[in-house]
Each structure stands twice: as C-alpha cells, then as structure tokens.
Structure 1
C-alpha cells in the first residue's frame, strides 16, 4: 500500500503530461498571437477534455461518475493536445481579429471583460470539437495510436533518427539559427518516448523500452550544449590566442550548466568552417557511443526529466534513476569530444594567434 501511495505524485504529474501540455501549449500560442494566455490555455484544455470522449459508469451508491481514459492523458494524447491547441487558438484569433466577440465598455476591468471576449470563440471551439469527436464519432486518439504513433516511436528511437536530429541541430547553430526551431518539431516525439519509459518504470519493468527519449540528448549527446562543447570551453582556457582565452574564461562557467551561446557566438563557431567540423562530429560520435551503450544494457535508459541546466554528470545520474554507469558514460563522451575538438582547435588557435600578431604589428606601425 505504501508503494502505491508513493506512486501518486508520479502518476498525477508525469503520467498526465498531455493534460498539462494542452493548457501550456494553448497559453503559449495565445501569447504569440497577442491574446489572453489564460483564455487560450483554458479553451485548449477544454477542447482536449471534450475530445477524450469520457464515459460514465455507476458507482456502488448508484450514482453515475465520469471516467477519463488515462492513456489519453499520457503519451497517447500528446499529438492530439498539440493539434487541438493549435485549432483552439486559431479560432480564438480569428474571432478576435474580426471583433466577433462580446465587447464590454472600457470602464469594465479586464479581469471581467476578457472572459466575456473569449466566450463566443470558446463556445465555437467546444461545439466544433464535440461535433467532430462525438457527433461524427471521429476518434483521433485511436487513429494516432494505431497509425502514426508506432511509426514515430520506432523512427524516433532509431540511431538514424538520433543522428539526423544531431546533424540538424548542429546545422542550425552553424548558420546562427537557434535550434528551438528543431526542438519544437521533435520534442513531442522525444517526450512521448520519455512518457512510455516512465510508464514502464512505474510498472516495475526491468528494462525500459526506449533509448532516445528527450533526456538522452541532454545528458549523453549534447554535454555543455549543442555540439557537445563542454571540453572545448576548457581547451580555450589554455589557448595561446588572447581572444580565445578570453572567450573561454567568459563562457566556461556557463557551459558547465549547458548554456553555450557565449561560446558559439564568441569563438565563433557560427559560420566558422574549421570549428564546424568537430561541431558536427563530436555530438554524432557521442550519440553513436551512447545509443549503443544503452541499447545493449551497459547503461540504464532515461526516464526522469530533470532541469537541463544541471551539470552533465549529475543530470545523467538523476535521469536514469541513479545509475552510476551513466556518469562513466558521460565522462567518456566528454573525453571523446575533447579528442575530436583538439586538432581543429589547435589549427584555429594558431590562425587566431597569427591574426593577433598581425594586428599588433599594424598597430605598432601606426604609432
């Protein structure tokens, strides 16, 4: 009984990820469209709950109660939550853009007027979802679970997919584009894999089903941030070029907590053909080594979502549920990344040193 009680916090947080996602996605999209974030989140959440098609059953005292299918609140509902959040906010924006809303006098406080302004579009959203899912009997959950989710799950857990994500992440950063563009598209798949691992862990499975959940990338592939740049930051502390040493001193503390923008733009790695080579190779090598290590059971698989700003060994240790072998794998990957960066860094350091010497010589001539 104690074990069951201890699982309650886990079940009401991690196993309800789609429920939280429906609200947060709607609120985030509403903010981007300059709409009220609370109304955007509430309408998206309401649409998601209506789409779940809750059932009724009689309880012992003869009363009827609503039953929500729990799998839909977990990994099975992620894509549905995202789609309904997009639909809800688009309808909300459409009505607000054409002023087809209930408008109260300006003297009325916004806390009162905002709910009235969202009343009509909210009713339209709920009615639309009810017609689609209940009147027409369209079960998007089942379609995704039976058709799309198995394909996405198998593809997202493969080494080929992992390497593709690593390549795209490095490519975006190389051109100075924040990789959030990629994360927005791939994260639902990664979170779905994480949710399935969490459900297996809660059920007491000896081996978790999936390798490439979201924490896998955080802790085993991108140590120090995109490009696995943690060892590079410390190599730069020993650079002969003063500019690189300065960047190393400024960026190393941040890279320890996986914040690498100062290094990427200060070195720079962006549009730098020399440093781009290890920036692509290092995370790819870490991904291959880590994927193999987890696939053959040398290291436990991730199932806990921890803050991405933790130092990498600590984050990896927690994410796999306290497996010390994860720390060894992280340290090995850091050393491997350092070996990959080392020859390219030496070439670039020499170039920067020569450039600084030339600039100092020109300055001396001007004097």
Structure 2
C-alpha cells in the first residue's frame, strides 16, 4: 500500500505537469520539480485524511459522481472530436502491436496484463476503511465485489472508444506525456486540459482514500504489536483518527522518494512493485488457508458456501502466475533503466519482515488483538 501511495502521488504530479505542457507547450521533466509536487500531493492527502471517515465519506459520494460522469466524458469526447479519423473495427478488436522487443507475442500479451492488474487492486482501500462502518461484515465483501465488477465494466467501456480514437501509436509510445499526447491528437487544447483535470481529480481522490486506509492499517498493525514501537503508534486523537499513524505514513512516503535523486531506476522499481505486492498480500491468507486449514468452515452473514475453497485455489494459482509475469522485464534488450526490479524490492521487504519476526515478533505475537473494550 505504501508503494501504491507513492505511485498515486507521482501520477498526480505527472498529470499536473502534463496539463502545464498542454497549456504552455513547455515540458517539465526536472526530477526536483516532480519530487516537490509529489510531496505536496502527499501533504494535502494526509491533511484530508486527518478529517476522518466522515469527510472520507463525503469524498467518496463526490467520487461516485465524478468518476461516473468523468468516464463518460473521457470516453466520448475524443471519439466525437476525432470522428472523421477513427480506427476501424478490425484494428480495435483484432489488431496486435508488439513493440516490447520480445519476439513472442504471447509473452507480450501477458506483460500487458500489468495495466489490468493496476485496475483491479483499488478495493484494498474500501476494505480497510469499512472497519469503521455499520455492518462491516456485510458491507466489506459487497464493496469488494462491487469494486471489481465496476472496474471491469468501466475498463471495457473506456478502452474500446479509446482504441477507436487513437491516431498515432508511435507518437504515444515515444511521448513522455502520453495521456496529454492522446488528448491533443484527438481534441483541442482547452478540451485536453479539461479531460486531464477530470483524471487528476479522480486520481487525487484515490490518493486521499489510500492515505486514510494506510493509516487505518498501520493502526491495526500497531494494535497487534507487529510493527516497531507499536505502543507509540497505537493512539487515536479526540476525533478517533490515528493521527500518529498518519504522520508515520507521511514520513515514509516522503522518505522513499528521496533516493530517486541518486537513481531514477530506484523509483521505477518502487512503482513496478506496487501491483505485485498488493496481489501477493491478497493471496497470503488464501494460501495459508489451503495449506493449514483446508477444512475450515467460514460462517457469517456473507459466505461463498461450497464455492469458497475452489475459488480459494483459483485465486492463489492466478496470483502466483500473475506475480511471475509481473517480474519479467517489460522490454528487450534489458538495461539497468528498463530492468524489472520488482523481485529485488519485494525481497528486501521479505528480508526485513523475517528479521523483525526472528528478533522480536515470534516472542510475543499471538494473533490479532481484541480491542472491543476500548
């Protein structure tokens, strides 16, 4: 989630500078400028998270409207504006372009799943936030299902018109601001800025939600004593906000960007790690159930019944397969700049976790703590 938070803030900064490029024609690619705006985005998102779940609810009601209407606008405007120069159906539904450097088209297709992977990890935030809602035992699984189905439907609705409207694929692949380039190819300058603003607001909404979700998660982990100095972080302010965890999160997400000044390859590795880390974290409880508790009967107001274990197996097999695919370099020939450093970053996290467990965690951890008395 930390890696995801960093990627969301970086995307917000990128969207802002793409808007500047469209409006002024000046492309800003200075790393310091990006890092500064990245930090500003993190500060604003943290400040909003300090307002708590009530204001997060206001944001989410607004986001339902904004993303719903925004999707339709972003989908239709380029198609309407470029109606005299649209691609044909054969290009959209059967065309295949492989510019990865890999000779095998099947592998190129699998590498393209990275984008789909990004679209299907957002439900981690509502799953964390839902702990503070009424009947979370029902609203949490429903929310996850709605998010997945909504992402798939929205993705298809958005993808097909976009493919019809694309004008010059090579220009998009060679552009440092591909979204801005796409909108400029299909519309005019004012409309391009307008469409980029729609995407920017939607991305910032995700950033703000994720900030609060991470704080909630850190607070739960500190409750269970599974992060260093847990007693210090396990505090709520008078508005029941995990304020210390929010500050800790802000320090971490700002801290992890700083080594990018030494090597931008490092930051590329952080961003490429996000999808596989989140998917692996989803799969760990499912994997543990298969290995140690295959006959476990999960009772509750929301359950999958006899389908539970088969779905468990399918999910674990898919996540393992997906994790391998996402660890393959995206392009050939492989250089330090385009190398996929995901396995290295995940390995570092695993080594740290095992080290902390061996010197401290295994001595006291007994499972999730009950805090109903508080």
TM-score by length of 2: 0.28
The TM-score, its normalising length taken from structure 1, stands at 0.28
Q: Which has the larger radius of gyration?
A: 1
Q: Relative contact order (C-alpha < 8 Å, sep 6+): which is higher?
A: 2
